A and B are shown apart, each in its own frame.
Chain A
Amino acid sequence: MTMATTAWIGRVTAAFLWRGWAVLVSLCLLAALWQVGHEVYGGLVLPSPMDTLRALGALVAEGVALPAALETARDALMGFGLAAVAGVLIGAAAGLSVTVGRLLEPLVRFFLGVPAIAWVVLALIWFAGSGLAAVFTVVVTTLPVVIIGAMQGARTLDGEVLDMARAFRAPLGVRIVDIYVPHILSYVFPALATAMGLSWKLAVMAEVLGGTAGIGEGLSLARVNIDTADAMAWILLALIMLLSLEGLVMDPLRRRLEPWRATRGQAARERRS
């Protein structure tokens, strides 16, 4: 192993530990505040962090938590996946063609304006009992978000860069891979990250209201039993799942896709060097 590689591994490990340390500190701060709240208002209003963890442990041990989590993940990810694929295709078409864009934009704004809870109600009426209500809600609510991202991306394609490609007689394949995709992706990716977070919340919401299997069902049961510790445990479970998805999938993906962007920290480092 060369010196450079060793130094690189050292830097990466240090950065990871530093980030982990910062996360740990802020989590401890939150837990401390939470504990204070518990001691002021009592266990019925706000169970202590330890009680919540114990409740979560019990839910896992009873074999309730895992199937519910998988059910919610299925609803959220299926809806997200459908919205992502359809949204990118529709949005790119709308951005590249003025006619499609003109026709689609008012519709997208309209759908974006409909409150998510209204979609849940409609979905429960339309898809009662089929278990598709949550997926449907996720799709219709996140689709406009993705479409707008992709549309902005396709619209802001740099005509000068396209001219440059033309001057070099770039074949269509090269133009797609080297210009269209990276540019549109840079706009779509933040939209996808937003849609991912949204999809999780919407799936839980639809499950609470529809009483269908999942974390939402656990939450509504906890409400019926006025079991605050259980409710907090379910919330914690949903959070852990969403955060680990973001930390383990979205962030590495972002780092891989967008090293070319100058972040503020990066720019400052380069000015110093």
Chain B
Amino acid sequence: MTLTPTPDAAASVLAWHDVSVSIGRTAILDRLTLAVPAGGLLTLVGPSGCGKTTLLSIAAGLLKPGAGRVETRARRIALMFQDSRLLPWRRARDNAAFGLRCQGMPRRQRLDAAQRLLESLGLAPEDGDKFPHQLSGGMRQRVALARALAIEPDLLLLDEPFNALDSVLRRDLQDLVRQTVTARGVAAVFVTHDLTEAIRVCDRLVVMAGPPGRVAFSTGFAQPADARDDAAVLAGLQALWREPAVAEALGATPGRRRVTA
């Protein structure tokens, strides 16, 4: 699969400009600049501690950068976390409706919307009545995804959302996210440390190095994401590992490459 190193699109829905963040004396991000194109899914891949999550926290307004600024044209931003972060004392349907409740939508209306969304994401109708402890890990992440989608965001931020799941479930949910992004035309940033996952879902891929976090490599793919099969993903993986910047950022030493060309 061919990489297409197109320049960043002019119309961006979200952009970090010269963003720096440090915790104590440790620099997490050092003057990082990155733009997220409007529409489509951008994946951020990088080793642990390179500031991927920090970037999302800044975009979601949970964290103020020490220097630099973040610009967004998105009116509604939804964030999905590594763990589902559902409220254990609320049923799946109420959890999915949480964002709508925060917007002040009447109860009947928001619960109906949440139930429809849960069913469209592959939960059985009766699952809406269950409490989080009665759901499996994959189902909990589906509820969390429903909670994020319910507010009809124009920017969806996903922070390693499927880390805790086994590989089969992961693929299911990757496809689900991919379909959702295509169907709704929402812009999304998907953070992961798994290059394969990144290639499977992305329209545009950014490899980060660090700490302190910086952009090491950025690319698009000639083949649209929805048409990529496993062979295409593997080819993409090989093409990416051939890039010295990627190999360096993701920590592969020349003799120990997991995929060799």
Contact = CB atoms under 8 A, between A and B. Distances in A.
Interface string B125-160: 000000111100000000000010001000000000
B205 interface: no
Given A161-B85, A168-B151, A260-B133, A178 B98 contact: yes
Interface stretch (A43-51, A108-116, A169-177, A204-212): A169-177
B102 A164 contact: no
A42 interface: no
Interface residues on B, range: 20 to 34
B81 A186 contact: no
Nearest to B77: A167
B79 interface: yes
A160 interface: yes
Contact of A260 (B77, B85, B88, B99): B88
A169 B62 contact: no
A31 to B, nearest CB: 40
Contact of A167 (B60, B90, B132): B60
Given A160-B85, A167-B60, A174 B131 contact: no
Contacts of A170: 98, 102
A169 B83 contact: no
A62 interface: no
B98 A168 contact: yes
A167 B83 contact: no
B83 A270 contact: no
A167 B88 contact: no
Contact of B133 (A164, A174, A182, A262): A262
- Residue of B78, B88, B89 most packed against chain A (CB within 10 A): B89
A179 B87 contact: yes
A261 B60 CA distance: 31
Interface in B145-185: 147, 151
Interface string A229-273: 000000000000000000000000000001111100001001000
A39 interface: no
Contacts of A169: 102
B87 A178 contact: yes
Contacts of A165: 98, 102
Contacts of B193: none
Nearest to A258: B89
Contact of B81 (A164, A174, A182): A164
Interface string A140-184: 000000000000000000001101111111110010001100110
B254 interface: no
A260 B90 contact: yes
Nearest to B101: A174
Closest 4 CB pairs of A and B: A182-B89, A167-B79, A164-B85, A260-B131
Given A164-B85, A182-B89, 6 more contacts: A167-B60, A168-B78, A170-B102, A178-B90, A258-B89, A262-B134
